[in-house]
Structure 1
Amino acid sequence: MSRLFPVIDLHAHWFPPSTLDILGRRAEAPRIGPQGEGLAIWRTGAGAGKGGAFPLGPQWYDVDARLAHLDAVEIAHQLVSWPTTLGVDAALPAEKTLDLWTQWNNDTSALVRRHPDRFSAVAALSTSDLAWSARELARGHEKLGLIGGVLPVNGFFSRASAEQFRPLFEVAQAHRSHIYLHTGFANPVIAGQPPNLVYEDNDAIRWVIDNGFHFASAVTTLAFTDFLAAFPDVTLQIAMLGGSGLGALAAEQAEVSPRIQAGPLRQHFRQIWLDTGAAGSGTAAVAAAIRVLGSERVVFGSDYAPLPDIRPTLQRVRAATAHDPDSQNAVLSSNALGLLGRHDGLSERLLSHKDFTS
């Protein structure tokens, strides 16, 4: 049996002071402002809900509170990313967002420098100005100590939409980037995305169904076309188990269906990992993804900040892997250690943490 390492969480978000300031100065959604005794962000588009307000507890911006929670639940390290779910990039043009992304990247780099054993991060990128994003991804690697970038999953809904990101992926290949695909729409300048539907009835449930379809479609684009062939050194992390496990189950059909004849799944997913973020944290979905793709393709993600307590997600993932300690270790720790360890100095930073050396 493998040694059981402490947990690494590859799906977590935060807001530095610059984000609260920049979005706090906006009068219209997307914006941040007071709600009751706390803060909220007002969103637009699918998934925003009536009124579009999403509460922001202190876990979003209070680093000391975050570290205390990580210690309490025994999380050794987090990968921090911008929450594309909030739809800021989809709603606003480049001239209204580039300063937001620049400052987020600068502040997140400072967070990583202050707590190198506890945090690593991927850069926030624009989908309305991909040339800027290519330069910013390079800056993230070369100047900021970031290990890749986060992009909204619907930018990869189809091969046609994915092709628009090719110049960005050329930079990612040069830097061996870790690209994280998270919930949400790219800016409308990216053609080939699904429709951004806002429902009048049961919008929350319908959004969950649509979201699963969106993620599974991106899994299909990346695993079953040759888009990634030119970028063999890029690693891809797809949130929510690629659509609550739907992406993995669709992949299984691709393997067994005589119509598709895709061949062994392992060759299609050699650059792709699925994380257990909120919509993909169900015990059955985690177990299904492991059964179809193997535990080496699944990584733990808590969706911390939108979810203020990591424990329920951690418990469900542990329940899904309780029968196999080696699989549990792979999902909760060793897969992430391998991914992060590809980048200069990260292995040493991680392994220097007290939970790895005790």
Structure 2
Amino acid sequence: MTRPARIDVHQHVVPPFWAEALSANGGDPSGWHSPKWSPESAIEFMDSQQIATGVLSLTAPSVVGWKPDERRDMAHRVNDYTAALVARNPDRFGNFATLPLPDIDGALAEIEYAFDKLDADGVVLLSNYQGKYLGDILFEPIWAELDRRGAVVFIHPGKPAIPTIDGIPGPITDYPFDTTRTAVQLVLNGVMDRYSRVKVILSHAGGFLPYASHRFAELAPAVRSDVPDTETLLATFRRFYFDTALSSPSGLPSLQAFAGVGQILYGSDYPYAPASVGASFNAKLDAYEGFNATDHAAVNQGNAMRLFERLNSSL
């Protein structure tokens, strides 16, 4: 069955100057490799998988490894590069802007530049920066500014501050874990309530948040006096959006039961998930019988169209 053209909220940009400089600036501590990528190869993959638009983001470790005085410049260059791709192909690409965190002042300046000068579609945040998770008080100014703008925020996992397991790179097991950590902290520390105008997308079906949400919501009030009751916590957890990147058929029923179809967005994780892997997961998603035709259309495109007003005019 032919599905509506997809909007991919989890697709990565690999600027050549960033990839070339990465090894000299800490490399990728997760143990993953930087894949070959070009705008042309991205469009070729998109055409093969009925993807109309890929909203591009820089993956972990982003620009964290650069020296503080060089981090702002690299984030700026990445955003300019990605914005130029969007300008040339406004119907094929979008831009989640990179911020030079944990530099708060630099990040605030880049938010202003990205939205006011580059017309970015949102921002990408890592799940943690040097061991500080996004619900930490350090990031309050960032959330306040993003809330003021009603921004879309894509949270991509980073390596947690623990060693990887020998032979198992971080993206295989550690990334879903780190997404879950930051999401739970965002809710328990009240960030999602204080900054409710921000629309937050969690990668990879939210890690194991949908599967273990009741565990978190039941236990937290038992050990903390500063959190809401269980039902309120569950309702707040359900306000996240969740992308389908690398989501297994066995995980989709839990995601659907927890979040509802309206909070689920299509994602591929290209090119860090190779084209063959992306195609495999797309086939599983298309074959998922828990979604009817209307649900498939919403996940593939309709839900994202509500988040990204620009795409309503360019598609």
Short-chain TM bin: 0.7 to 0.9
> How much has 1:156 moved relative to structure 2?
11
Q: Distance in 1 between matches of 2:5 and 2:249?
A: 20
Q: Secondary structure of the equivalent of 2:52?
A: strand
Q: Secondary structure of the equivalent of 1:166?
A: helix
1:135 aligns with 2:100: no
Q: Structure 1 residue aligned with 2:144, among 170, 176, 179?
A: 170
Q: Taking structure 1 as reference, are residues 67 and 247 closer, same or farther at Cα in structure 2, changes over 3 Å only?
A: same
Pairing 1:20-39 to 2, within 5 Å after superposition = 20=19, 23=21, 28=24, 30=26
Q: Structure 2 residue aligned with 1:240, among 201, 204, 215?
A: 204
1:76 aligns with 2:75: no
Name the aligned partner's letter for residue 19 of structure 1.
W
Give the structure 2 partner of residue 96 of structure 1.
Answer: 70
Q: Structure 2 residue aligned with 1:286, among 252, 263, 270?
A: 252
Pairing 1:302-321 to 2, within 5 Å after superposition = 302-309=268-275, 310-321=278-289
Q: Distance in 2 between matches of 1:96 and 1:80?
A: 22
Q: Which moved more, 1:149-158 or 1:215-224?
A: 149-158
User: Given the two structures, how large is their TM-score scaled by the length of structure 1?
Assistant: 0.76
What percent of counterpart residues are identical?
21
> How much has 1:101 moved relative to structure 2?
0.9
Q: Distance in 2 between matches of 1:140 and 1:122?
A: 9
Q: Distance in 2 between matches of 1:182 and 1:307?
A: 14
Q: Distance in 2 between matches of 1:294 and 1:320?
A: 15
Q: Structure 1 residue aligned with 2:35, among 48, 52, 56?
A: 56
Give the structure 2 partner of residue 276 of structure 1.
Answer: 244
Give the structure 2 partner of residue 126 of structure 1.
Answer: 100
CA contact (8 A) 2:134 2:185 kept: no
> How much has 1:251 moved relative to structure 2?
1.2
Q: Taking structure 1 as reference, are residues 81 and 178 closer, same or farther at Cα in structure 2, changes over 3 Å only?
A: same
Name the aligned partner's letter for residue 348 of structure 1.
S
Q: Secondary structure of the equivalent of 1:80?
A: strand
Q: Distance in 2 between matches of 1:119 and 1:164?
A: 32
Name the aligned partner's letter for residue 276 of structure 1.
T
Q: Distance in 2 between matches of 1:330 and 1:75?
A: 14
Give the structure 2 partner of residue 221 of structure 1.
Answer: 185
Q: Distance in 2 between matches of 1:253 and 1:311?
A: 33
Q: Distance in 1 between matches of 2:62 and 2:6?
A: 31
Q: Distance in 2 between matches of 1:169 and 1:264?
A: 21
Q: Distance in 1 between matches of 2:157 and 2:71?
A: 18
Q: Taking structure 1 as reference, are residues 328 and 157 closer, same or farther at Cα in structure 2, changes over 3 Å only?
A: farther
> How much has 1:134 moved relative to structure 2?
0.9
Name the aligned partner's letter for residue 335 of structure 1.
N
Q: Taking structure 1 as reference, are residues 173 and 183 closer, same or farther at Cα in structure 2, changes over 3 Å only?
A: same
Q: Distance in 1 between matches of 2:257 and 2:190?
A: 25
Name the aligned partner's letter for residue 284 of structure 1.
S
Write out per-residue CA displacement over residues 222-271 of structure 1, whole angstroms, 9 at most, x where no aligned residue: 2344112222211101111121xx11122133467797641066631454
Q: Which moved more, 1:172-181 or 1:158-167?
A: 158-167
Q: Taking structure 1 as reference, are residues 48 and 166 closer, same or farther at Cα in structure 2, changes over 3 Å only?
A: same
Q: Distance in 2 between matches of 1:160 and 1:152?
A: 8
Q: Distance in 2 between matches of 1:328 and 1:99?
A: 41
1:180 aligns with 2:154: yes
CA contact (8 A) 2:63 2:100 kept: yes
Give the structure 1 partner of residue 226 of structure 2.
Answer: none
Q: Distance in 2 between matches of 1:347 and 1:156?
A: 37
> How much has 1:97 moved relative to structure 2?
2.3
Q: Taking structure 1 as reference, are residues 248 and 135 closer, same or farther at Cα in structure 2, changes over 3 Å only?
A: same
Q: Distance in 1 between matches of 2:289 and 2:112?
A: 37
Q: Secondary structure of the equivalent of 1:132?
A: helix
User: Which consecutive aligned stretches of 4+ in structure 1 deviate over 6 angstroms post-superposition?
Assistant: 156-160, 256-259
Count of residue pairs the alignment pairs up: 306
> How much has 1:299 moved relative to structure 2?
1.1
Give the structure 2 partner of residue 295 of structure 1.
Answer: 261
CA RMSD of aligned residues (A): 2.8
> For structure 1, which runs of at least 5 residues remain unmatched after alignment?
31-42, 186-193, 351-358
1:14 aligns with 2:13: yes
